[in-house]
A and B are shown apart, each in its own frame.
Chain A
Amino acid sequence: MSKRSLFFGLGALLAFAALAGAQPWTPLNNQPTFPAGTALLLTDGTVMVQQMTNLGFGTGQWWRLTPDTTGNYQNGTWSQLATMPAGYAPLYYASVVLADGRVVIEGGEYNFTQGSETTLGAIYNPATNAWTSIAPPSGVTKIGDASSVILANGTFMLGPCCFQTTDYLLNSSTLTWTATGSVGKADVNAEEGWTLLPNGNVLTVDTGNGTNSELYNPSTGSWSSAGSTMVQLAVGTSQYYPEIGPAVLRPDGTVFATGATSNTAIYNTAFGSWSVGPTFPNSLDIADGPAALLPNGNILVDASPGFFQTPSHFFEFNGASLIAVPDPPRAASDSSFAGRMLVLPTGQILFTDSSSDVEIYTAGGMYQSAWQPTINSFPPSVTAGTANYSLSGWQFNGLSQGAIYGDDAQSATNYPLVRINNNATGHVFYARTHDHSTMAVATGSAVVSTQFDVPAGIESGASTLQVVANGIPSPPVSISVLCSGCSAAKSWISVSGNDGNDCSQLTPCRTFSGALAKTPAGGEVDVLDSGDFGAVTINKSVSLVAARALGGIQVSSGTAITVNAGTNDKVVLRGLTSMDSAQA
Chain B
Amino acid sequence: LNGISFVAGGSLYVENCAINNFSQYGIDFAPTNGSGKLFVTDTLLRNNGVAATGGGLHLIATTGPGFVAAVDGLRSENNVFGLKAETQGMVTIRNSLAANNGYTGFSAVTPAGSGSLRMMIENSLSTHNGTNGVLAINLATATISNVVVTDNQIGLNASSGGMILSFGNNRVWGNATDGAPSQTIPNQ
**Residues in chain A within 8 A of chain B (CB atoms):** 538, 541, 557-584
**Number of chain B residues whose Cβ lies closer than 8 Å to a Cβ of chain A:** 30
Asked if B12 contacts A571 (CB within 8 A), the reply is: yes
Cα–Cα, bound, A572→B39 (Å): 9
Asked if B8 contacts A572 (CB within 8 A), the reply is: no
- Given A557-B1, A560-B4, A561-B3, CB of A574 within 8 Å of CB of B15: yes
**Residues in chain B within 8 A of chain A (CB atoms):** 1-23, 33, 35, 47-50, 54
Cα–Cα, bound, A410→B10 (Å): 53
- Given A557-B1, A559-B1, A567-B33, CB of A581 within 8 Å of CB of B9: no
Asked if A561 contacts B33 (CB within 8 A), the reply is: no
Asked if B4 contacts A573 (CB within 8 A), the reply is: yes
Cα–Cα, bound, A558→B23 (Å): 9
Asked if A576 contacts B17 (CB within 8 A), the reply is: yes
Other-chain contact of A565, B3, B9, B21 (Cβ < 8 Å): B9
Asked if B18 contacts A560 (CB within 8 A), the reply is: no
Other-chain contact of A561, B4, B10, B48 (Cβ < 8 Å): B4
Question: Knowing that A562-B7, A570-B9, A573-B17 are A-B contacts, what are 19 other residue pairs whose CB atoms are under 8 Å apart, sorted by A's residue number?
Answer: A560-B3, A563-B4, A563-B6, A564-B7, A564-B9, A565-B9, A566-B8, A567-B10, A570-B12, A573-B12, A574-B15, A575-B17, A579-B20, A580-B19, A580-B20, A584-B21, A584-B22, A584-B23, A584-B50
- Given A579-B20, A584-B49, CB of A573 within 8 Å of CB of B1: no
Give the top 7 A-B pairs by smallest Cβ distance, nearest first. A583-B23, A565-B9, A574-B15, A572-B13, A564-B7, A579-B19, A577-B18
- Given A563-B9, A569-B9, CB of A581 within 8 Å of CB of B3: yes
- Given A559-B5, A579-B20, CB of A570 within 8 Å of CB of B13: yes
Asked if B15 contacts A572 (CB within 8 A), the reply is: yes
* A564: chain B residues within 8 A (beta carbon): 7-9
* A568: chain B residues within 8 A (beta carbon): 10
* A560: chain B residues within 8 A (beta carbon): 2-4, 19, 22
- Given A577-B17, A580-B20, A581-B23, CB of A559 within 8 Å of CB of B3: yes
* A538: chain B residues within 8 A (beta carbon): 9
State the Cβ distance, A76 to closest chain B Cβ, in Å.
Answer: 31
Asked if B5 contacts A566 (CB within 8 A), the reply is: no
Asked if B9 contacts A566 (CB within 8 A), the reply is: yes
Asked if B1 contacts A579 (CB within 8 A), the reply is: no
Nearest residue (CB) in B for A558 is B1
Cα–Cα, bound, A583→B3 (Å): 11
* B8: chain A residues within 8 A (beta carbon): 563-567
Asked if B11 contacts A570 (CB within 8 A), the reply is: yes
* B15: chain A residues within 8 A (beta carbon): 572-575
* A559: chain B residues within 8 A (beta carbon): 1-5, 22
Asked if A583 contacts B50 (CB within 8 A), the reply is: yes
